[in-house]
Structure 1
Amino acid sequence: MTSVRPLLRAAELRAALLPDAVEALDDMLVDLVEEPSRLGRLFPAAARRTARGQIAGTDHRVEDAVRVELVAAAASRLSPPDLLAELQAVYRYGDADEKRAVLLALGAVDDREVDGSDVLLDALRTNDVRLVAAAMGPHADRLSIHDWRHGVLKCLFVGVPLAGVAGLATRADDELAAMVRRYVDERRAAGRPVPDDALMLLDLITSTTAQEA
């Protein structure tokens, strides 16, 4: 069985839902505990049966929190390989909102056996800011250093803030610095503005290298 951390505490999520939506969520959770293979069927309908929109006072959307809670219920009954297979299938056939929720759920999985690197890499091939940001969250520590560096660069290209990138302080290295410098030089040569995050990252790497010297 696998543990998945909800985006919100159960009471917080339910406080953001109308009574009918709370009942629908609880029904879906019971279904998944009884038969976790229903995840692929319940996942697409989750927003319609509960709600959509930003949850006041949080960084989360209600449909994401609902879907991650559904994954947590299924995970409680699945082995790590089976959970990963379910999430890969949901991602493959889902729309952009569903794909984002899968990426967020992967970031909430504690078990190192659940390696969704292939899903992250697919998201990083898109130009969807929401998918790129979610892909470079906590689960990005599963990416190889090569893929992780290119994920950081993709964030700069599409405008994803680097503050949300997992492992930035510990994985940023001279090779990444060289890639970012080339990116900065190309922007300047083209007369285009350089993102503040690119300069911040170069400062971070320079500072870290100096401390290690």
Structure 2
Amino acid sequence: MTSSTPIPTREDLRDRLGDTARTWLDAALADAADSATPSQDTLGPRRSVAPWELSFASAGRHCGQDQADAVRVLLLREAHPDAVALTRLYRQGTAAERRAILLVLPHLAPDPADGLPLVEDALRTNDTRLVAAAVGPYAAEHLDPHTWRQALLKCLFTGVPVDAAARLEDRARGDAELARMLGDYAAERTAAGRPVPADLHRLLALTSPTEQP
């Protein structure tokens, strides 16, 4: 599951799972739905970890690593945690759990102040899974031009295909500053005797303004 892959429906995901995993998924999603509409008794400071959060962490063990992203994304959409809970889950999570949170940001964090710190944190890592998830639709919509350009350079540096970046052609077109940064990066690589990533040339071509008839 990539940042550009549509989020599967519950029915689609259940079709991919065996009977035991389906039963587990149904119970986990029910816990998440209950958490999304807390009763008066559950308001106030949390005394323990919500059951759905335990399921969020153990999704790979119950449904397989290939389906873990999709399971976690569905759990997040069902529970709809607020910004505080989402940030806590990200900070405490494994790389796989953080990746799921990055993938679901367009659906859970309409306020850039809530989601951008998580995207920026992921872009500071060299984990290609996190970098690829961080440059998805949420980043395309909310990252400022400078940070977005740095995100593309991070893709080149870590070997993440630039096609992972959502709205790539739209945002790169006519970007003279990005073209300059790419030229500097290519010159640095060449001077150091290192190969220039093939994606750099493609990205540089995208920075050309659209020709007018």
TM-score bracket for the superposition, by shorter chain length:
0.7 to 0.9
Please give the alpha-carbon distance, in whole angstroms, between the structure 2 residues aligned to 1:139 and 1:197.
Answer: 22
TM-score normalised by the chain length of structure 1 = 0.83
1:201 aligned residue = 203
Q: State the alpha-carbon separation in 1 of the partners of residues 71 and 89 from structure 2.
A: 15
One of 7, 26, 47 as aligned partner of 2:60: 47
CA RMSD of aligned residues (A): 2.1
Larger displacement relative to structure 2 (123-132 or 43-52): 43-52
Instruction: Give the direction of change, closer, same or farther, for the CA distance of 1:93–1:188 in structure 2 (3 Å limit).
Output: same
Q: Aligned-pair distance for 1:203? A: 0.9
Task: Please state how far the C-alpha of 1:212 moved relative to its aligned partner.
Answer: 6.1
Equivalent runs, 1:1-213 vs 2, <5 Å:
7-36=7-36, 38=50, 39-53=52-66, 62-75=67-80, 82=82, 84-107=83-106, 109=107, 112-113=110-111, 115-140=114-139, 141-172=141-172, 173-206=175-208, 209=209, 211=211
Q: Residue by residue, what CA displacement relative to the aligned partner does 1:144-186 show, whole Å, maximum 9, x if unpaired?
A: 1111111111000000101110222122211111111101111
Structure 1: stretches of 5+ with no match in the other structure: 54-61
How far the C-alpha of 1:110 sits from its partner, in A, is 7.0
C-alpha separation between the residues in 1 aligned to 2:190 and 2:61? 46
Instruction: Using structure 2 for the length normalisation, give the TM-score.
Output: 0.83
Report if the CA contact (8 A) 1:6-1:72 is conserved.
no
CA contact (8 A) 2:122 2:130 kept: yes
Query: Percent same amino acid at aligned positions?
Result: 44
TM-superposition CA deviations, 1:106-165 (whole Å, max 9, x none): 14x176336410000000000000100000011112111111111111000000101110
Number of equivalenced pairs? 192
Q: Given that residues 73 and 100 in structure 2 are in contact (C-alpha distance below 8 angstroms), is that contact kept between their aligned partners in structure 1?
A: yes
Unaligned 5+ residue runs, structure 2?
A: 39-49
Greater shift, 113-122 or 126-135, is seen at 113-122
Aligned counterparts of 2:149 and 2:15: Cα–Cα separation in 1: 39
Q: 1:89 to 1:212 in 2, by over 3 A?
A: farther
Question: How far 1:188 sits from its partner (Å)?
Answer: 1.3
